[in-house]
């Protein structure tokens, strides 16, 4: 019993750290493109609403038609300290989340960014980066983990909805965790060792550019955070990343033609 309580506390603290790594609630609510539902509101979703999972498409969610989509798969090679990490990005099961990542890679957003959070104790958890603020040496370390990608044309920060596809369903669920949607099926893309997923704040639709590598099987995150790919080569490089290390570069090496953008 003590072991179970200890494991629960460790998981709780780890998830809390991960959620703080997304955009702050203040940043989210101050943007014109911010999500309109809070985590509390998402928890009030009824099972009746969740029965229409197969009818939930990206076109049915306001604002999503303007977001990048990945229709199929793509390969991204991320260089860290001169060594490659190969990521298979899965737009088949997470088209919006994968499309956002590939689009930001294409724009060079990740080049030079810092991994601001590395958690290996008390047990392997995540390596997290992708805050554009980390390119600015004037930004203090305690602010890293609060930023996201802003469109230079509009000045607005891009947010993407929480996107999780349950096993056996035709379409993902958007803007809700599987639990709040009343879904008991596991997600199609799970937090296995080497999974790549989006960090966010407590608000489901607050992910922007920050992502993380799973350093272990993290089943307690399944259904709550959007996995969009996995490391196929170079996980030994991921395992050596230290807090403060930078991404040298990130390039799409295959599947760039699968990215669809509105602009």
Helix (H, G, I), strand (E, B) or coil at 100: helix
Helix, strand, coil percentages in the chain from 3-state DSSP, rounded to 5:
30, 25, 50
The dihedral over CA atoms of 41, 44, 47, 52, expressed in degrees to the nearest 10, equals -20
Q: What is the pLDDT of residue 63?
A: 66
Q: What is the pLDDT of residue 64?
A: 80
For residue 196, give the nearest of 181, 183, 215 by alpha carbon.
215
CATH number of the domain residue 28 falls in: 2.40.100.10
Range 20-38 average pLDDT: 31
Helix (H, G, I), strand (E, B) or coil at 166: strand
pLDDT-derived band of residue 263, with 50, 70 and 90 as boundaries? low
Cis bond before residue 122 (omega within 30° of 0): yes
- Residue 13: give the domain boundaries: 2-260
Report the domain count for the chain. Answer: 1
pLDDT-derived band of residue 102, with 50, 70 and 90 as boundaries? very high
Mean pLDDT across the chain, nearest whole number? 82
Distance CA 28, CA 22 (A): 10
Q: What is the pLDDT of residue 19?
A: 53
Residue 49 pLDDT greater than 90, yes or no: no
Range 133-142 average pLDDT: 87
Residue 48 pLDDT greater than 90, yes or no: no
Range 144-151 average pLDDT: 92
Could you identify the residue written with the tokens 């959620």?
19
- Low-confidence winner among 54-68, 98-112, 178-192 (lowest mean pLDDT): 54-68
The pLDDT tens digits of the residues spanning 149-195 come to 998 888 899 999 999 999 999 999 999 999 999 999 999 999 999 99
């Amino acid at each position: 019993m003590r072991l179970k309580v200890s494991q629960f506390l460790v998981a709780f603290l780890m998830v809390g750290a991960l959620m703080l790594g997304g955009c702050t609630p203040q940043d989210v609510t101050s943007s014109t493109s911010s999500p309109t539902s809070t985590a509390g509101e998402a928890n009030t979703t009824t099972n009746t609403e969740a029965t229409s999972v197969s009818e939930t498409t990206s076109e049915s969610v306001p604002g999503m038609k303007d977001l990048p989509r990945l229709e199929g798969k793509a390969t991204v090679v991320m260089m860290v300290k001169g060594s490659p990490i190969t990521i298979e990005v899965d737009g088949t099961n997470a088209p919006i989340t994968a499309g956002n990542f590939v689009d930001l890679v294409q724009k060079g957003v990740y080049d030079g960014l810092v991994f601001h959070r590395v958690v290996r104790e008390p047990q392997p958890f995540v390596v997290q980066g992708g805050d554009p603020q980390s390119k600015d040496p004037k930004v203090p370390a305690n602010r890293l983990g609060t930023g996201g990608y802003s469109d230079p044309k509009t000045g607005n920060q891009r947010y993407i909805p929480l996107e999780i596809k349950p096993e056996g369903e035709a379409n993902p669920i958007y803007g809700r965790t599987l639990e709040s949607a009343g879904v008991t099926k596991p997600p199609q893309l799970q937090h296995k060792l080497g999974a790549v997923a989006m960090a966010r704040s407590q608000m489901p639709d607050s992910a922007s550019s920050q992502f993380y590598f799973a350093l272990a099987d993290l089943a307690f995150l399944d259904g709550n955070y959007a996995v969009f790919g996995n490391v196929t080569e170079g996980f030994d490089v991921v395992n050596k990343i230290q807090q403060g290390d930078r991404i040298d570069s990130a390039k799409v090496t295959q599947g760039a033609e699968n990215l669809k953008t509105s602009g």
